[in-house]
Amino acid sequence: NFDPGTYETLELDLTDGVLTLTVNRPKALNALSREVVSDLWKAFTAIQDSCTHDAGWPVRGVIVTGAGGKAFVAGADIRQMSSMDPDTASEYGRSMHGVTLLIEKLPVPVIAAVDGFALGGGCELALACDFIYASEAARFGQPEVNLGLVPGFGGSVRLPQRVGLGPARELIYTGRQIDAAEALRLGLANRVLADRDELFAAARATIGEIAAKAPLAVGLAKQSIAGATGRSTAKGLEIEADAFREAFTTQDMREGTTAFLEKRSAVFTGK
């Protein structure tokens, strides 16, 4: 359900196949309260359900961002966490783990458009997306140690995967913030754009570029990468071989190869 009225803490806008999902709690710098986590779960489930030929693939890519211009997401909700007991906190962490796994399984690209602070849970939400585009105003960090905490929404797994163990350890142990240029240098962000307008234009353009490809192939490529990450080479290759085989069962694979041989553009249908 993409009706924005369904969500208390998110704004949803579907334009030209691009679903922009904006965490909308600017007064708390878009902190991921339990309500936001629950709304994210609902929204990503709805997107997942729409990604079929029968449903017409209305969403060809997602941009995740934050409202207000000052923050992408400033982390988990510190006010809510301050009164949680260990079991409630653990359940809170696991519910957000569920959201990050949903994002990784989604067959369409998800780009985090980071303008302002992406700290703690905000950096972890961005890391669960396929890749990050940042504005020059972006700031990243895992400041949990300042609060007597550790990363809890996937940062201990996905930050080392993205930037390597050394830089991830340094960021997590110091709680230090880094700017957009440093994020780019580390490979945390794929691109840095001058401002918010350029950031969104770039994210939309990339989704448009991907939307011209065979959607099942893009989904299978995404599934292969997510499945193989963190596994042994042999297991990763098995997962890739399964995905490759699966691609051969699609009409789009026949269309893509035939179009190449007939020297014409392919017309993909997502079947």
By the criterion CB under 6 A, which residues form the site for ligand CO8?
A: 28-29, 31, 74-79, 89-90, 92-93, 117, 119-121, 143-144, 147, 149, 152-153
In Å, what is the CA distance from 261 to each residue of 168, 255, 268? 46, 10, 15
Unique residue bearing structure tokens 């017409």: 56
Q: Which is nearer to ligand CO8, 24 or 224 (CB)?
A: 24
- Pair 123, 159: CB distance under 8 Å: yes
Strands 117-119 and 71-73: parallel
State the DSSP code for 32.
Answer: B
Give the residue numbers annotated as catalytic, written as ranges: 124, 144
E-only strand ranges, the chain: 10-15, 18-23, 61-66, 71-73, 110-114, 117-119, 131-135, 139-141, 177-179, 191-193
Report in angstroms how near the CB of residue 78 gets to ligand CO8 at its nearest: 4
Report in angstroms how near the CB of residue 148 gets to ligand CO8 at its nearest: 10
Q: Which is nearer to ligand CO8, 125 or 216 (CB)?
A: 125
Q: Which is nearer to ligand CO8, 175 or 236 (CB)?
A: 175
Report in angstroms how near the CB of residue 163 gets to ligand CO8 at its nearest: 18
